[in-house]
Structure 1
Amino acid sequence: MALSQDTSYLSTPLVIPTRLIEEKLNNSIKLNLLDDSDTKRPPRKRRNENMYLKVSRLGDIQVHWRNNVATYQAPLQVLIERKIINKKVLPALKSLALKTEFSLQLDFQTTLNLGADWNLQPKTKFISFKWLSEVKTLGGLINIKGMVERRIRHQMPQILKNMDDTIRAKVHIDRAITRIWQNIQKPIRINQKEETVWLKINPIQFEMGNITTENGNLLIQGRLSATTETIVGNEPVYALDSTLPPLVKRRILPNEAYIYMLSKIPYTDINQIIKEKFVGQGFNVSGHSIKVKQVEIWGCGPNLILHFQVSGSAKGDIYFQGTPYYDRDSQHLVIQNFDFQIQTQEALPAGLDWLLHSTFKEQIKNAFSIPLTEKIAKIPDAIMQGIERGKAGQKMDFIIEQWDFKPQQIWVRESDIVALIIVKAQVRLEVEKI
């Protein structure tokens, strides 16, 4: 049997550690950014055959975020060689050249956004030069600083395009989200004792709010809407929808998970609780004494049937019925509309009318109170443990920062009671691989 609920919403910041983006950039951007000795470049495009320029990355690129804007520095090593005697002039001599080497830093900013297709939309701009070492004047022949800056500025449009192309090609938010989308559809086993219980999630869409920064890391506010089912028995059959739906953008999203869950409470568990509470207990009723020998509960349609076997002033079997109700103040399951069944009145021996008109019913009703907090509290932890054990958890770190639950509705079934619970939580997802 499967019971479905209304749409659930999991609003959570998606944390992408800066170190992952730095690793991608440093592994993707070539060490040699510009090299005039590249033989693949046609000679006619070399502006000055007597000038050789080589620009190499000197160290790692470091990224700093402010909201969705990344500021980063590229330290560079520059080698300049100028020929002063060419073989064409003096064939008998070797070519002579003046060389100088120095370092500088280029500062960039990249604004990141996501398109409806989940692909990154980077827009990089050049900010400034910073000279890191003294620049020799190459024999006083040329203004090296001016020459280098002009050369780099001339090629800056292509440099910026290459950087944006590299970010789009190497940093794939869409892949991380697709893995979540696909893996979350696979039923999650949340209980293996006695009966196996599965949580089946049917995702509907992803939404994205602000892109901000937290503790130096990129933080994307997102929300997943889905329907959920709690299924008892064998692993449910499911059809995997591998297509990631278009991204829906919102100006702002709440930072709260709002999930409808079902918690199953078997009658075996309830009977254990009420046996400890009632068996051996005595009741004083209208000057008579009644002792409970045995007690049992089961479901019948929308009602619970409570069977007492008693001794003392009244001997025999007494049956009550009523509808279950969750008391939010005490967080206990109680019974409403509690009364004797008609056949019970007929089955009572003659002379026991005092039992029907006494306070016995109210005493039993008031004593029947089953705590649900401990059982229900295990559900969110079981779900997150199931996700962590699954494939989705291998790429993500799920963190429940705080949560609260409120049972909303109770169903009576043949083998158990099922409670519809609204779980409110604050959850964080941290990407471990992009």
Structure 2
Amino acid sequence: MKPLVPFYIRYACALVLLTLLTQCRHVEPQPPKAEGFDQPLTPAKSYVAGSVIFPLRLLEDKINRELDTVLVGRGIPGTLFPFRVARSGRVQIRYANQQVRLSTPLQLWISKPFSSDTTPPDKPFCSLQINFQSPLNVTPEWRLASEVRFTDYDWVIKPQIRLLGKEISLANLVKKLLQTFQPGIEAAIDGAIYQELRLDQIVAPIWKDIQQPLQISQQYGLWLLPKPLAVEASPITGDKTKIVAHMRITFDTKTALQLNKPSYSPSTLPKLQKQEQLPQTAVLRLMSSVPYDDINQVLQRTIAHEPPKLALGTLTVKHVSVYGGQRSLIVKTELDGLVDGTVYLRGRPVFDTLTNTLTVQHLDFDTDTEAVLPAPLRSLIHKGLINVLDGMLTIRLADDIRQFPDKISKAFASGGTGKKAQLLIQTFRFVPQQLAVRPDGVQTLIRVESKVAVQMKKL
């Protein structure tokens, strides 16, 4: 069988390759000009939106623990009908038609009239099941505020007195007494809700943790620095098992490129702002401006650790740096060995949705570099050099960002808040938006969407 390539052609190729490998070619093309840039990206606010979920059973337990058994009066001896109003069972709660409905059994205890005998009676004078309802709002002071109002009641034991052998109903008297002390009963329930159901105790740890710098890329030392600005709340909703407080945190973001965790100055929780309606999707806009100087420091550290070698070890990449021009990233590469000198490549930074990386697309020699490199030499080093630079200029963001929900959930669970609540991150979607090559660096805007809820386990 005859060889596919004639001997003389193979001999010629080997001779050319030998010549290239034994001769050092010095190149110094004209560097591309640093001009012609993209318009700067407009900074955009980010939002962490979510819900704080209160199971009604927990709410009931909290109110019943904190609400005094005796709601009004403890009896004043020596007065006409000294009395007290006391709960004889649990306050029960349900939510319907944007109202919290409360129901509890009450007993009215009356001591002997005009008597100094303080011995409590054997049984209540009367008992009834009394019903209240209230809207439920969030105040600027981070409290759940109610406006409890009496609606109706059902007699369990009607009030009666025996006089001259006859039973005389005192229902109207008791009704007037309840009307007189109704504001005190309502205020007692309002106070228990306002004093004990504090959203700031739930949100403050989240507010504190969200200000911590988050490491996006460990390899490049890329950090996200969130700066929360405000918190909003929309009207409370609910159903037969829970009530839900809807909230949204507004914040700015910037990035830093450094190996160690950046310093930051945490701010305290501000007053809560009210909105009629809030979207329930959290939107994180990662507005990043990565200076060329910072990128170049990372590239130089990488090369200093292990300079890449190409073409069977005959070519060494000594130094790589980048700058911007003509809406492209220009890569200045200093070589030693088979090629001695500087070559320039250019490509467009993009976010690759297939590999979830920030990379440089269509990276290739600049026209002036291409002109000074002989075609055989250019063909020999082209693929290997571009592969090396592609790897050095690729930042894998998505894998790290996708770990955020798990990292946030674990941090939430391990803290004090995790004993009372569970953080539920229901969805997490990563969407690239814009990128701009600027004179001092590369700007990127990446959008992260998620749905977050805080499920209360204990109040």
Q: Give yes or no for TM over 0.5.
A: yes
Q: 1:401 aligns with which of 400, 406, 426?
A: 426
1:353: which partner in 2?
375
2:65: which partner in 1?
27
The alpha carbon displacement at 1:324 in A equals 2.5
Q: Tell me, what secondary structure is at the counterpart of 2:184?
A: helix
Q: Tell me, what secondary structure is at the counterpart of 1:156?
A: helix
Q: Is the contact made by 2:226 and 2:254 (CA closer than 8 Å) also made in structure 1?
A: yes
2:51: which partner in 1?
13
The alpha carbon displacement at 1:258 in A equals 0.7
Q: Distance in 2 between matches of 1:97 and 1:279?
A: 97
Q: Is the contact made by 1:12 and 1:223 (CA closer than 8 Å) also made in structure 2?
A: yes
Q: Say whether 1:65 aligns with 2:95.
A: yes
Q: Say whether 1:244 aligns with 2:270.
A: yes
Q: Distance in 1 between matches of 2:75 and 2:358?
A: 81
Q: Tell me, what secondary structure is at the counterpart of 2:154?
A: strand
The alpha carbon displacement at 1:257 in A equals 0.7
The alpha carbon displacement at 1:97 in A equals 11
Q: Say whether 1:123 aligns with 2:147.
A: yes
Q: Distance in 1 between matches of 2:143 and 2:400?
A: 43
Alignment: residue pair count = 392
Per the alignment, do residues 143 and 254 of structure 1 end up closer, same or farther by CA in structure 2, a change over 3 Å counting? same
Q: Tell me, what secondary structure is at the counterpart of 1:241?
A: coil
Q: What are the residue-to-residue correspondences of 1:287-366 with 2, within 5 Å? A: 299-302=321-324, 303=329, 305=331, 320-328=345-353, 331=356, 333-336=358-361, 338-341=363-366, 345=370, 348=373, 352-354=374-376, 356=378
Per the alignment, do residues 419 and 378 of structure 1 end up closer, same or farther by CA in structure 2, a change over 3 Å counting? farther
Q: Is the contact made by 2:213 and 2:262 (CA closer than 8 Å) also made in structure 1?
A: no
**1:162-201 CA distances to partner (integer Å, 9 max, x unpaired)?**
33334333333344444544x1464255579678775433
Per the alignment, do residues 262 and 341 of structure 1 end up closer, same or farther by CA in structure 2, a change over 3 Å counting? same
Structure 1 residues without counterparts, runs of 5 or longer: 89-93, 272-277, 281-289
Amino acid in the other structure paired with 1:401: Q
Q: Tell me, what secondary structure is at the counterpart of 2:347?
A: strand
The alpha carbon displacement at 1:248 in A equals 2.8
TM-score normalised by the chain length of structure 1: 0.69
Structure 2 residues without counterparts, runs of 5 or longer: 1-41
**1:27-61 CA distances to partner (integer Å, 9 max, x unpaired)?**
2221123455346xxx5xx4x2xx45343211221
Q: 1:76 aligns with which of 98, 106, 111?
A: 106
Q: Is the contact made by 1:184 and 1:201 (CA closer than 8 Å) also made in structure 2?
A: no
Per the alignment, do residues 316 and 73 of structure 1 end up closer, same or farther by CA in structure 2, a change over 3 Å counting? same
Amino acid in the other structure paired with 1:60: R
Q: 1:142 aligns with which of 168, 187, 190?
A: 168
The alpha carbon displacement at 1:242 in A equals 2.5
Q: Is the contact made by 2:143 and 2:195 (CA closer than 8 Å) also made in structure 1?
A: no
Q: RMSD value over aligned CA atoms?
A: 5.0
**1:148-167 CA distances to partner (integer Å, 9 max, x unpaired)?**
33321232133223333343
TM-score normalised by the chain length of structure 2: 0.66
Percent identity between matched residues is 24
Q: Say whether 1:427 aligns with 2:457.
A: no
Q: Distance in 1 between matches of 2:94 and 2:68?
A: 21
Amino acid in the other structure paired with 1:227: D
Q: Say whether 1:207 aligns with 2:245.
A: no
Q: Distance in 2 between matches of 1:433 and 1:96?
A: 40
Per the alignment, do residues 390 and 200 of structure 1 end up closer, same or farther by CA in structure 2, a change over 3 Å counting? farther
Q: Tell me, what secondary structure is at the counterpart of 1:26?
A: helix
Q: Distance in 1 between matches of 2:50 and 2:232?
A: 10
